[in-house]
């Protein structure tokens, strides 16, 4: 197995296409502003699948992102019930040490192999976490994970995706203080290089910080879903890196989505029943359309403008963007070079307000 034997091995090494990098909090890792997200390539046959995918094409897409200069990949054990991690492992297998991207994954959503379509359960019991980290190491083909993140706060109950972390809490749920100590222990033992929290509130982040530094947070954030602004502000004040997920709102802000496409989403695509693609669809598409004039001025895609807006938000280090085909990578990889002017930001703020899309503050 290959591993980053030294955190500085490719910290200062330029990416193949010289994409700009920034420090990821105090982790010692410098990352490109955009990372490859593997949720969408996980395939069907599980509760939060995106429909059928082609594994060979998915691996090609991951490798194309790496060849384009992207130097980190975000995945999770639960994506495809282990399948996404396996695909990432295959995509990076055999790459020279200096060329292999940083690998970030997540823990805390477990599933019943006998009922793959059932919603996964949120649990961070210490013995479960230790089983998960070993499974992720094996699937990824590495000896140490660069960033290990708690996927959701432990409730001991099933995750029914609402996008806000709500849900019942079982009396058997593992307290945050207990599971964050386990994460700190894994870091001390060298199983992982850095530790993070995804989908945790500012209050939960502050409680964790009393036990061990929160290296990175991963909240959802886009021009549609702006509700994590308080978490990002907390991270900025604590030298904590921020990598946001769903910056294109699962495809809605690519400029390629339409009401017709939403109506024809496969039944096994989780988006087909989500409010962003049903009751909230019209407002979201109005916002995407309003980004077109800004994109034209910059010679960029709508997706790149949507991502540039996210990256302009104070405190955000990078954004996770998915792709199932190599060509989709080309539609967003240049977003880090798009610099939005004050006039651009004013126009986008107005568009967000007029569209009625999403919630949260409308300007960085």
Q: Is there a catalytic annotation at residue 161?
A: no
Report the alpha-carbon distance of residue 243 to residue 119 in Å, rounded: 25
* Structure tokens belonging to residue 181: 């100590």
Q: 3-class secondary structure for 21-62? A: EEECCCCCCEEECEEEECCHHHCCCCCCCECCCCHHHHHHHH
Among 159, 208, 155, 205, residue whose Cα is nearest residue 182: 208
* Structure tokens belonging to residue 155: 């409730």
Options 79, 102, 148, 179, the catalytic residue? 79
Q: Are strands 121-122 and 109-110 parallel, antiparallel or unpaired?
A: antiparallel
Identify whether the C-beta of residue 53 lies closer than 8 Å to the C-beta of residue 42. yes
Catalytic machinery residues: 79
């Amino acid at each position: 197995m290959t591993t980053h034997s030294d955190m500085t091995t490719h910290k200062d090494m330029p990416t193949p296409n010289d994409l700009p990098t920034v420090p990821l909090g105090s982790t010692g890792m410098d990352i490109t502003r955009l990372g490859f997200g593997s949720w969408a390539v996980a395939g069907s046959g599980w509760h939060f699948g995106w429909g059928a995918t082609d594994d060979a094409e998915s691996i090609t897409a991951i490798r194309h992102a790496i060849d384009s200069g992207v130097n980190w990949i975000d995945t999770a054990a639960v994506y495809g019930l282990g399948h996404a991690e396996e695909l990432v492992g295959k995509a990076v297998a055999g790459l020279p040490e200096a060329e292999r991207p940083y690998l970030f994954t997540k823990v805390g959503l477990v599933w019943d192999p006998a009922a793959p379509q059932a919603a996964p359960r949120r649990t961070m019991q210490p013995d479960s976490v230790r089983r998960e980290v070993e499974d992720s190491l094996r699937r990824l083909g590495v000896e140490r994970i660069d960033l290990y993140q708690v996927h959701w706060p432990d409730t001991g109950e099933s995750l029914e995706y609402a996008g806000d972390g709500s849900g019942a809490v079982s009396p058997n749920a593992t307290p945050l203080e207990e599971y964050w100590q386990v994460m700190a222990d894994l870091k001390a033992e060298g199983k992982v290089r850095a530790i993070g929290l995804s989908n945790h509130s500012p209050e939960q982040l502050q409680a964790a910080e009393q036990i061990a530094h929160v290296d990175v947070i991963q909240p959802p954030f886009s021009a549609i879903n702006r509700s994590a602004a308080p978490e990002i502000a907390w991270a900025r004040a604590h030298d904590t890196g921020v990598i946001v997920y769903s910056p294109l709102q699962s495809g809605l802000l690519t400029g390629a989505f339409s009401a017709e496409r939403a109506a024809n989403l496969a039944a096994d695509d989780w988006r087909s029943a989500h409010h962003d693609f049903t009751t909230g669809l019209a407002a979201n598409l109005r916002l995407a359309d309003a980004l077109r004039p800004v994109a034209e001025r910059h010679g960029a895609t709508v997706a790149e403008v949507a991502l540039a807006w996210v990256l302009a938000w104070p405190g955000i280090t990078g954004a996770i963007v998915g792709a199932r085909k190599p060509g989709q990578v080309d539609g967003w990889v240049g977003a880090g070079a798009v610099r939005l002017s004050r006039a651009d930001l004013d126009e986008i703020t107005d568009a967000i307000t007029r569209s009625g899309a999403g919630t949260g503050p409308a300007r960085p």
